[in-house]
Amino acid sequence: MNDIEKYLNKIVDYMVRHSKDNQFPFDTEKYSFSKYCKNEFGLTDLEVQYVFYKYRYLMGWDSGDGMSKKYLKYVLNKWLMDNE
C-alpha cells in the first residue's frame, strides 16, 4: 500500500467513524460528496471517486460483489500513472 492509498483510507475511516444514523458526516443540503471531500481534504476528482466507492462499501451500501474493489484499484492505478 502506497502513501496516497494510506491517506485516502484514513479519510474514509474518518468519514465512517463520523457518520451517524447511516448518514453522511456532513450536511447534504449544503454540500455534495465531491465538494465536501475537495474542500475538507483537498482531494482531486480521482481521489474523491476512490473515497466515495470505498466509503459506500464500508457503510454497507454496496453489495460487495467485487465491482467496487475493482473500481478502487482502477482509480488508484490511474492516479498513480497520472502522477508519475
In tens, the pLDDT along 6-15 reads 999 999 999 9
C-alpha to C-alpha distance for 50 and 27, rounded to whole angstroms: 21
Phi first, then psi, for residue 77 (nearest 5°) are: -65, -40
pLDDT tier, 42 (very low <50, low <70, confident <90, very high otherwise): very high
Q: What pLDDT, on a 0 to 100 scale, did the predictor assign at position 39?
A: 95
For the entire predicted model, the pTM comes to: 0.77
Average pLDDT over every residue of 20-36 = 91
pLDDT number for residue 59: 87
The whole-angstrom separation of Cα 7 and Cα 45 is: 15
Asked if pLDDT for residue 31 goes beyond 70, the answer is: yes
Q: What would the pLDDT profile of 45-82 be if each residue is shown by its tens digit?
A: 989 988 998 898 888 887 665 555 666 677 777 777 77
Q: Long-range CB contacts (< 8 A, 24+ apart) of 67-76? A: 75/46, 75/49, 75/50, 76/4, 76/5, 76/8, 76/50
